[in-house]
Structure formats: structure tokens, C-alpha cells
Amino acid sequence: MNQSTVLKQLFITTFLVLFVSPSLEAQTKKLKRPKNKVGISSVDKFVKESFDLYEKVYKYDSYAEAGTPLEDEDIDVLEDALENVSALSESAPDIVDDLSGKSVFKQGKATLQINRAKKALKYSIKTAKKLLLGAKKGEEDEDDDNSSSDDKDTGADKNSEDISNRGSNENQDNTTKEEPSNISDGLEVYSKYDFVPGDKLIFYDDFTNDFIGDFPSKWNTNGSGEVVTLNKVQGRWLEFKQGYNTFFIPSLPRELPENFTIEFDLVALGINDKTSSAALLEVKLEDNNEFRTGKDFARVEIPFVQYVTSTFRVRNRINGKNSITNNVKADIRKAVLNKPHISIAVNKERLRVWVNEKKCVDIPKMIGTNSPLKAIKFHMSGFKEEGKERLFISNLKISEGGEDLRRKLMSEGKISTNGILFDSGSANIQPQSLGIVRQISQVLMQDESIKLNIIGHTDADGPDDANLKLSKARAAAVKDVLINIYKISADRLTTDGKGETQPVGDNKTTDGKAQNRRVEFVKI
């Protein structure tokens, strides 16, 4: 090694010690954005978007160390960044594929920039998660950093084909699951879920009042279907039978209001990489409850295809004229294999659709201003012949409202909601309920003087003492989520349970029971 090389290396080492090390003690050394483009459009776009997001997150680098509280604006910025980072991370393998056939020089330069961009994304995921979820200090495993994007839609690690179509034991509806050591375990991936169900129940059906093998009493169809039990999931399920222009229509007691929400669970069997791209469940909001297409409608088609990226088909008709016909890209291939929870919100003209915690559709002018919606119709098509690919629905809940509960709690001092859902006979919170809990946490973060009493209520099924105990456990579970996920101080929260003693609905009906299963938040 010649003398000039030795001197050069010595200079570099001295520079790093004197100038770089002190800055690392103050905060994470900022990564430099590449100055020059590679000349491959997908790579250049990936690098640019990665560093745009990185710079949004980096400005909060010192917050975690200093314990600086986040404002609402900061939380919104970080939540958006984390969502976009996850989506961008998933696109990285496709970007690498674009390098084939390029010159060695371009491939080398592109690889360096992609790796730098990945490092920026990795930092962004770790830092945003730490700030939003209160993660402990220290290095996280690389697998943990990547899991925020890879695990988002996987649900339970099981194949839907392992679920048989008919359970022989009808007591299965009351099967309980082993509770985790901490009620909030596994719920962090839903912590930014912003769906809020309506608070005035219009229709609810879990088929508990129907006989196995019968078509449900609160529905209508021009085809065929039956209520069944499944051996690996709780409850009773309506199996849709495919047919040309066949509709399944819940019998609503009245017209749909301007603001309402729809929720239901799905189980799909036999779905695999050969499932057709035309396999879908159509959810249609219409101006009539007949077996025909009306003058006005809004339609969303939920895809079950596996071999290509899935898209939601959306279409509407207002005053007899089609104004929207489009395919909205949203990859839910893993989600539909694992009992997805579907949430739909209509706020006047706006229509939004979530699959689990992922918002897939958000169209501001989907519903006509003078379109009276009278029915919700389900239609399945594109599935393989009967017995090979099958579709089941349960826990259909339609509610008026979907209002901002934060304002109501602030102005009235209390709210009551049946939108926080629990596993049957259990205090395990279903993660899709976190949209409401998130709003409660925002009220508490905005005004630190507020203290809340959380009160659980049950329906009248089961012994009185068991229901009282369950109601107390459910209130405690909500408190636990507020503390462990949203970092609310425990001394600001108390809990109580009333069991079945304060019903607001008729415990002899399915709708009434659903109204009675509720959680109250009262300012103290």
C-alpha cells in the first residue's frame, strides 16, 4: 500500500471520529438522498418516494429520546407515513425485477440506490412504530421491521380449506377460546383503523334464531341458501348459493338513512390460485327491495381471486345514469382466506369500504343526493361449481349513524356504543372494534383533565352472575387497550359492569340482544 493511500485512509478515519461520531450521539445520522437518477423510471420513483417518506418521519427522530408528546397533526402525519411506507416496502421485489436486461453499470447503481432506499424505509417503519405505539427503545430485529407490511392482511395462520362446511355439535356457538395473557396482544396492527359503526341499530342477524339447514327467517332470496355451522369458526353462517341474477336480501324494517354503516364477516372455502378473477361478492345498495336492478344503485364487488392482484369493481347509477364505473386496486388476497371482517360506511354521498383494518374504497360522490336507498342486496358470481368454492356470511349489522363520537363525548359527557365487539362469551376484543376505542383515546389525549368510567353491559343469555362477571371483564379489556395500545394513564380510567340488569332492547330478539351488548363511557 503506497504512502498516499495510507494518508488518505488516515484522513477518512480522523474525519469520521471527529465529525460523524458526535452527531450520532445527538440523534440518528440522517441518510442522504441520492443526487443523481439511475435512469430506470420504476427505480427512480421508488427511491424518491422512499426518501420523501423518510424525511417526513426523520423530523421526529429526537421525539422518542426526549419524550416530546405528539400533537394530533403529528400523529396523523406518522400514521399516513407508516401506511405509505408499508405499501412501498411491498413493491420493492417488483422494482428489482425491472433491473434485468439493463447494463452492469446501471444494475450496480440501481442496486446501491434501492438498498439505500430500503434502509430509509426500515428506519421509517421502526421510528413511526416506536412513536405511535410506544415501542421500547433499542434495536428491533429485521423481521420485526418488515412484519408491519408483510403481516398486515394475513389474519390467522391457517388455510381456509381446513374449515369443514357443517359442524355436528350445535353447542359450538358457545365455544370459548383461550384468552391471551394480555387482552391487547395482537391488536396493534388495527390501532389506526378509523371505521366507526353507527350507534342506532337498524338490523342485526347472526342466525341464532334459525334452524340449521333452513333459509334464515329475516332474509329473502330468489335462489337458495341455508344456515350451517362450521367446525373451526364460531356461530352460525348463511351459505350463499350461486345462481344467475340470484340475490340475497335482508328484510330491513325501513329505508336506509343518509348516514349508515354495514358490517359482516365472511368465510370462503376452496379458494386457491385457480380461483377465477370473476369470483366476487357483490354488495349493492338499491332504491328497491325486489329481484331487479333499480333506477339508482351503488355497487361494490369484493374479489376472491388469488393468482393476480385483486381489484374492487365499483359502479353506480344516479337518476338512471351511470356516473362511476371503475376497478380500484386493493390487494386483499390473504385477507379473504382468513374470515375477513367487511365494514362499509355511507355518509350522504360518500362510500367507504374496509377489509379488516385496510381501507380499500373511498369515493366521495358514489351515492346520489336524492337517491332513496331501500335495500342491501348480496350476489355472488364467478365461483366454481357448487361444492368446490363456497361462501358464507354471518354477523350482519346495519346501523344508523357512524358519527364522530369524540364530539358527543365532549358535549354530552357520555356515550353508549354497541360497536365494540367481543368474542362470544369472552372478554377478547375483536380488533375491528378499535375504530371506536381510538376515538375515545383521542379525546383523552386532547384533554388530559378528563377521566372516564368504562361500563360493560351484556344481554340476558346465560346465568346472571356469569353475565355480571363478563360485563366487568369486558370493561377491563377496553381499559387495557386504552392503556397498552394508546398509552392512556391508568389512573384516568375506572371500570364497572352491570351484566344484564340495564337492558335497552328486548332480550327475546336478536336485534334487542345486540343493542344490550354495549359499552358506556362516562366522564367522571
Q: Please, what are the domains in the chain? A: 24-150 (no CATH), 196-400 (2.60.120.200), 405-523 (3.30.1330.60)
Amino acid at 450: I
Q: From CA 266, how far away is CA 145, in angstroms rounded?
A: 30
Taking only the tens place, the pLDDT of each residue in 328-339 is 999 999 999 999
Nearest by Cα to 70 from 57, 84, 55 = 57
CA distances from 319 to 50, 298, 350 (A): 44, 12, 17
Least confident among 134-143, 272-281, 442-451: 134-143
**What percent of the chain has pLDDT above 70?**
79
Q: What are the b/e assignments for 278-289, b being 16+ CB within 10 Å?
A: ebbbbbbbbbbb
Query: Cell 361478492 appears where?
Result: 281
> In this structure, what C-alpha cell is assigned to residue 152?
398486515
H or E element in which residue 342 lies: strand 341-347
Q: Is the pLDDT of residue 394 over 90?
A: yes
Of 25 and 430, the structure prediction assigns the larger pLDDT to: 430
**How wide is the angle at C-alpha 492 spanned by C-alphas 488 and 497, nearest 5°?**
105
Over residues 388-415, mean pLDDT: 87
Residue 7 predicted with pLDDT over 60:
no
Residue with cell 400533537: 71
Grade residue 220 by pLDDT with cuts at 50, 70 and 90.
very high
Q: Who wins on pLDDT, 142 or 30? A: 30
CB neighbours (10 Å) of residue 416? 15
Tally of CB atoms within 10 A around 248: 23
- Pairing type for strands 280-286 and 297-303 reads antiparallel
Question: Which segments of 59-205 does DSSP mark as H helices, in order?
Answer: 63-66, 72-90, 92-97, 104-133, 142-150
**How confident is the model at residue 395, as a pLDDT?**
94
* pLDDT band at residue 160 under the 50/70/90 scheme: very low
**What pLDDT shows up at residue 105?**
80
Cβ neighbour number for residue 413 with a 10 Å cutoff: 13
